Structure 1
Amino acid sequence: MTQHEQTGEDVKQVVQRYWDDRADSFDDDSQHGIHSDEQREAWLSVLRPWTGEPPKQVLDIGCGTGVISLLLAELGHDVTGVDFAPEMLERARTKVEQSELSVEFQRGDAENLAQRDDAYDLVTARHLIWTLPTPEHAIDEWRRVVKPGGRLVLIEGHWDFSEVFEGYEEIHDDLPLYDGRPPEELAAFLGEQGLENVEYEPLAKSALWGQEPNYEKYIMAGDVPE
Structure 2
Amino acid sequence: MSSSETRIKEMVAHKWDLASETFDTHVGHGIRSKKERDAWKRAFREVFPEKGLKILDVGCGTGELSLLFAEMGHKVTGIDISRKMLKTAESKAEACGAEITFREGDAENPPFMTPSFDIVFSRHLLWTLPDPKKAVENWNRVLRKNGKVVIIDGVWDRGTLGDRARRNIGAFLTLLLERKDPRKGHPGYSEELKSRLPHAGGAPLEKVKEYLAASGFEEVRTLNLKEVRQAQKENMPLGERIMRNYQYYLICGRK
TM-score, shorter chain, exceeding 0.5: yes
CA distance, structure 1, for counterparts of residue 8 and residue 14 of structure 2: 10
Contact persistence 1:133–1:175 (CA under 8 A): yes
Structure 1 residues 162-200: Cα deviation after superposition (integer angstroms, max 9, x where no partner): 46x723422111112222233233212211222111111
CA distance, structure 1, for counterparts of residue 8 and residue 48 of structure 2: 31
1:165-180 superposed matches below 5 A: 166-180=188-202
Paired positions, count: 221
CA distance, structure 2, for counterparts of residue 81 and residue 58 of structure 1: 8
Q: Which amino acid aligns with 2:208?
A: L
The reply on whether 1:35 has 2:35 as its aligned counterpart is no
Contact persistence 2:32–2:232 (CA under 8 A): no
1:139-158 superposed matches below 5 A: 139-158=136-155
1:24 counterpart residue number? 21
Tell me the percent identity: 37
The reply on whether 1:60 has 2:57 as its aligned counterpart is yes
2:10 counterpart residue number? 13
Q: Which amino acid aligns with 2:231?
A: A
1:197-212 superposed matches below 5 A: 197-204=219-226, 205-208=229-232, 210-211=235-236, 212=241
| Unmatched runs of 5 consecutive residues or more in structure 2 | 165-186
CA distance, structure 1, for counterparts of residue 200 and residue 216 of structure 2: 22
Contact persistence 1:51–1:153 (CA under 8 A): no
- SS of equivalent to 1:170: helix
Q: CA deviation at 1:208?
A: 4.0
Contact persistence 1:42–1:208 (CA under 8 A): no
- SS of equivalent to 1:90: helix
Structure 1 residues 97-123: Cα deviation after superposition (integer angstroms, max 9, x where no partner): 111322110100112221121111110
Q: CA deviation at 1:201?
A: 2.2
- SS of equivalent to 1:160: coil
Structure 1 residues 122-178: Cα deviation after superposition (integer angstroms, max 9, x where no partner): 100101111111112111211111011111000111122546x72342211111222
Q: Which moved more, 1:36-45 or 1:204-213?
A: 204-213
- SS of equivalent to 1:152: strand
Contact persistence 1:48–1:75 (CA under 8 A): no
Q: Higher Cα Rg: structure 1 or 2?
A: 2
| Unmatched runs of 5 consecutive residues or more in structure 1 | none
CA distance, structure 2, for counterparts of residue 29 and residue 168 of structure 1: 21
- SS of equivalent to 1:55: coil
Structure 1 residues 9-62: Cα deviation after superposition (integer angstroms, max 9, x where no partner): 211111100000000000010211012111211211112221331110110000
Q: Which moved more, 1:129-138 or 1:12-21?
A: 129-138
Moved over 6 A (4+): none
CA distance, structure 1, for counterparts of residue 76 and residue 213 of structure 2: 26
2:182 counterpart residue number? none
- SS of equivalent to 1:199: strand
TM (normalized to structure 1)? 0.91
Higher helix share: 2
